[in-house]
Amino acid sequence: MRARHSRHDAGFTLTELMIVVLILAILVSIAFATYNVADARARRAACLSNQRICEDAVLTYQLEHDGDLPAALADADPYIHGGGGHRFCAEDDTLDFVYDAATGHVSCTNHPRP
């Protein structure tokens, strides 16, 4: 003899399904927010690293040119491994670093150094 199924055994109700979808939506939104924060931190770290690479190239240029600083940051490109690919912000590759020819400091308007 076949047992009769109650309404609860037939599957999920619409309310239960909506609650599961809502919980999944909340978890996905939390995951995206966490990803965006981690992505911004990684781009900032890459930009600071690029600034340091450029300043090291400026120092190397200075050492090989009797203490003279390069007139432009591009003049230090030969001292950067692989050329001048590091002269840009890691977040926006159309944004050139700001170079102070008087001090040799390199900075980014998006990511100033602490």
- Residue numbers 5-64 binding Zn ion by CB under 5 A: 47
**Distance in Å, CB of 61 to Zn ion, minimum:** 22
Residue 73 touching Zn ion (CB under 5 A): no
Q: In terms of C-beta distances under 8 Å and separation of at least 24 residues, what long-range contacts does 98-106 make, across chains too?
A: 99/54, 99/58, 99/72, 99/73, 101/69, 101/70, 101/71, 101/72, 102/69, 103/69, 104/55, 104/58, 104/59, 104/62, 104/69, 104/70, 105/55, 106/51, 106/54, 106/55, 106/58, 106/73
Residue 110 touching Zn ion (CB under 5 A): yes
Write the binding mask 74 to 93 for Zn ion: x where contact by CB under 5 A, - elsewhere.
---------------x----
Q: State the residues that interact with Zn ion by CB under 5 A.
A: 47, 89, 108, 110-111
